[in-house]
Amino acid sequence: MENVLVVAFEKRNVLGFSMDFAEDVTKSNWSLEATWIEGQPFFDNDEFDGLTDADTYNVVISADRPTFVNFLNANRTIFFNTQWFVQYTDGFRGGFTANGPWNVLGTATVSTGYFQDRLQPALTAVYDVQSSSGALLPQVTYRFSSNFSATVGLAAF
């Protein structure tokens, strides 16, 4: 008897668009992305086979701004970035093991560079709106050369 293993990957159609633009009044850069994914499989405890296909609609809004803050770093800008991820699951049901039908996740990052960008501290905050939970992710990177660097970080939830 011959053992046969089949690995199959479902084709997934994604329709989306994105755009980036600079806004002169606030001196910031903005990005907008939107996607529609048709028939995405979700684990569903109410179904015999454990799966249900549902459409998801996703929007990502990002804004960033490099800003001089002289008392923190007179030689380099401090980079501020925020991203918001919004997802709607069409046909969401109570048996789904995923959160829904709306999911909103936000991030905010602050980073800069010292000593000709050899020392690069950064702090990222993450917030999940539905679960009211979040994380702080501080890190420090030191570049020894253009090909070698070391990063130390912490994940506090």
DSSP code per residue over 87-145: EEEET--TTBSS--SEEEEEEEEEE--BTTTTEEEEEEEEEETTTTEEEEEEEEEEESS
pLDDT at 59 over 70: yes
pLDDT band per the 50, 70, 90 thresholds, residue 74: confident
pLDDT bucket at 35, cuts 50 / 70 / 90: very high
* Cα–Cα distance for residue pair 19/22, rounded to 1 Å: 10
The β-bridge partners of 80 are: 65, 110
Q: Is pLDDT of 151 > 80? A: yes
80 pLDDT more than 90: yes
Average pLDDT of the residues of the chain:
90
For the chain, the residue count is 157
Amino acid 43: pLDDT: 82
**Each residue's pLDDT tens digit, 112-127:** 999 988 999 999 999 9
Percent of the chain at pLDDT exceeding 90 = 58
Structure tokens at 71: 């008392």
pLDDT value at position 1? Answer: 65
pLDDT at 97: 80
